[in-house]
Structure 1
Amino acid sequence: MSEMFFDGWDSLIRTLVVGFLGYCVLVIFLRISGKRTLSKMNAFDWVVTVALGSTLATVLLSREVSLAQGSLALALLIGLQYSVTWSSVRFHWFRSAIVAEPSLVLYQGQYLKETMFRERVTKEDVMSAIRAAGKATVDDVGAVILSTDGSFSVIDKGSENNLSKQNLKRQTGDF
């Protein structure tokens, strides 16, 4: 029972040393790989961010995983993320397979129910985004777009007239 609360100084010292070194390795890898590695532009970016944290935690707390193994795992995740983002910038077909398209869920006061159903978005979700943008009702906004990262973009009334299926990607910052 006492091991549940304290199992010796060796494990604490290991956690301190491996934690410090693992953190340093992760920071160095992230600096080398660039800012894009930790962005949350889409679901894949989010998954990599979570996986990096999980990998570091495993290295810190599991005696079965060495610092070298953990460092390799971190490098592998960052390398794969780099490869995916590099490819998605250069090959449109690859980006289309990886990243979802933005979806117009409200336009000129009308909920687009088929899109909302397909994207699993409720009227309450849309209203929450509208209120977060400082508006009171659907009549106060021109459009609401579900962006590729899962966040909502609220377009001011009057600006929605420039919004069409052809320039939806451009309006939402998704090229």
Structure 2
Amino acid sequence: MWFDSWSDIFRTLIIGSASYLTLVLVLRASGKRTLSQLNAFDFVVTVALGSTFATILLSTDVTWAEGFAALGLLASMQFLVAFVSSRWQGARALVTSEPVTLLREGALQTAEMRKNRLSESEILQAVRSSGCGDLAQVATVVLETNGTLTVITTDRYGDGSAMKGVVNNR
């Protein structure tokens, strides 16, 4: 339980170092989008990369070459999906959700909240976290494609041009 063998420790150190360098190279080659977490799909890829790295590091059943192939496959698939979804609306709709308005001009949008399984207290928490204490000062709260809540106050709303593509927007 506490110690198996020195060879297992040396394997972990050697394969771990090689795998770490490989992961850094794969991430550099695949670009910033791979870890951007712009949407749920990006988040899943980030988690999968971490899980794959851990498996390479700790499982004696997985060789470095298999791990390299797995990391490369994940990064390549993420690149391909991002490439396709950035060019074709239909593919984008399959991979990402649309941002949605949950609060508009101080009024909760209960149908959208139910659809997205969010409670009033979660919306109010986001408003408070933004430093606002009065719902009348909130122009909108948007559930973004990555799951974060964006609070825009009335004095910061401007012409609303950034709200393009937001479901249930004015």
Q: Do the two structures share a fold, i.e. TM-score over 0.5?
A: yes
Which residue identity does 1:168 align to in structure 2? M
Instruction: Give 2:54's aligned residue.
Output: 57
Identify the match of residue 35 of structure 1 among 22, 32, 42.
Answer: 32
Instruction: Give 1:23's aligned residue.
Output: 20
Q: Tell me, in whole angstroms, the C-alpha distance in 1 between the residues paired with 2:44 and 2:66.
A: 20
Q: How many residues align?
A: 167
Q: Tell me, in whole angstroms, the C-alpha distance in 1 between the residues paired with 2:64 and 2:160.
A: 51
TM superposition score normalised by structure 2: 0.93
Identity, in percent, stands at 41
1:59-78 to 2 correspondences below 5 Å:
59-78=56-75
19-28 or 130-139: bigger deviation: 130-139
Identify the match of residue 47 of structure 1 among 27, 31, 44.
Answer: 44
* 1:168, distance to aligned residue in structure 2 (A): 2.8
Identify the match of residue 11 of structure 1 among 8, 11, 29.
Answer: 8
TM superposition score normalised by structure 1: 0.90
1:74-113 to 2 correspondences below 5 Å:
74-113=71-110
Describe the superposition over 1:96-131 as per-residue Cα deviations: whole angstroms up to 9, x where unpaired: 111100000000111000000001111111111111
Structure 2 residue runs without a partner (length 5+): none
Q: Structure 1 stretches (4+) deviating beyond 3 angstroms? A: 158-164, 169-172
Q: Tell me, in whole angstroms, the C-alpha distance in 1 between the residues paired with 2:19 and 2:163.
A: 42
Instruction: Give 2:128's aligned residue.
Output: 131
Structure 1 residue runs without a partner (length 5+): none
RMSD: 1.8
Which residue identity does 1:85 align to in structure 2? A
Between the two structures, name the one with larger relative contact order (CA 8 Å, sep ≥ 6).
2
Q: Tell me, in whole angstroms, the C-alpha distance in 2 between the residues paired with 1:9 and 1:153.
A: 51
